[in-house]
């Protein structure tokens, strides 16, 4: 029996996947991968006017709407804003999701980014994948371990810069021109973020910001025939797959430019 091919995009907050991974996620879905999405945070702090309960409901609806654009399964968040720590409880919860999804490819945040929710999400996702086959590691809820090879790809940090303002150069560039409309539609589902990002981070047009960062990736790839790209760095295969590999490049072929 052929192993089902699944791609799991994991991020901290609703809209993080859309900013940095949605194009590649869409391409993999079109190539036959079953798409899954998960934002670890409920984004309960994303408003200075609405109550926590109301903004949490809004952000959940927006995340579900975005996943529907792609036909992806959207898994429920497990933490509040600024409460994503590398700790036992969250790790066991995420490990249960990883075991349920059985991903072949995992798209996850950069290990260096401007805020700790992002970097801690990356660390949690790494260990959740690493522990997938450990029979004595009890996930929450208890879920049977899995033994499939899994390949981890770290997306670019916010604005393509790390937390010390340094430009992050990816290993792989993915041409997302053919799915840019889908990526924009998915990001556009997060309507509540337009005012919030302007107020708190000075991003007055988050759709244009996403385009700008994508154009920078295309330029760094040295491809004048590309308009926008997403960048990724591969995690070490040790503990995740029997042999080193790059299924993302194999599946997407000419759409991938290697550094």
| Domain range list for the chain | 6-258
* pLDDT tens digits for range 57-93: 999 999 999 999 999 999 999 999 999 999 999 999 9
Say what the pLDDT of residue 206 is: 77
Q: Beta-carbon neighbour count of residue 186 at 10 Å?
A: 28
Peptide bond into 141 cis (omega under 30): yes
* pLDDT tens digits for range 139-183: 999 999 999 999 999 999 999 999 999 999 999 999 999 999 999
pTM of the model: 0.95
* Dihedral pair phi/psi, residue 116, rounded to 5°: -70, -30
Confidence of residue 48 (pLDDT cuts 50, 70, 90): confident
Q: Which CATH architecture has domain 6-258?
A: 3-Layer(aba) Sandwich (3.40)
Say what the pLDDT of residue 195 is: 65
**How large is the C-alpha radius of gyration of the chain?**
17
Over 60: is that where the pLDDT of 110 sits?
yes
If you average pLDDT over every residue of the chain, what do you get? 94
Confidence of residue 230 (pLDDT cuts 50, 70, 90): very high
Assign 3-state DSSP to the chain and report helix, strand, coil percentages, each to 5: 40, 15, 40
Say what the pLDDT of residue 259 is: 83
């Amino acid at each position: 029996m052929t192993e089902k091919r699944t791609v799991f995009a994991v991020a901290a907050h609703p809209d993080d996947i859309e900013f940095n991974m949605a194009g590649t996620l869409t391409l993999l879905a079109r190539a036959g991968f079953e798409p899954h999405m998960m934002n670890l945070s409920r984004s309960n702090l994303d408003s200075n006017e609405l109550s926590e309960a109301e903004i949490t409901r809004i952000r959940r609806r927006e995340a579900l709407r975005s996943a529907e654009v792609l036909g992806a399964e959207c898994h429920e968040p497990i933490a509040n804003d600024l409460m994503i720590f590398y700790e036992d409880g969250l790790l066991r919860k995420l490990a249960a999701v990883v075991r349920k999804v059985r991903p072949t490819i995992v798209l996850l945040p950069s290990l260096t980014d401007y805020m700790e929710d992002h970097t801690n999400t990356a660390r949690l996702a790494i260990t959740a994948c690493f522990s997938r086959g450990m029979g004595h590691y009890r996930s929450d809820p208890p879920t049977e371990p899995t033994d499939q090879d899994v390949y981890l790809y770290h997306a670019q940090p916010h604005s393509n810069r790390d937390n010390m303002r340094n430009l992050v150069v990816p290993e792989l560039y993915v041409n997302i021109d053919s799915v840019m409309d889908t990526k924009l539609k998915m990001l556009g589902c997060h309507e509540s973020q337009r005012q919030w990002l302007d107020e708190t981070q000075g991003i007055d047009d988050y759709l244009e910001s996403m385009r700008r960062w994508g154009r920078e990736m295309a330029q760094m790839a040295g491809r004048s025939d590309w308009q926008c790209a997403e960048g990724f760095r591969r995690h070490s295969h040790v503990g995740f797959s029997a042999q080193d590999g790059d299924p993302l490049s194999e599946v997407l072929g000419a759409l991938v430019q290697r550094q």
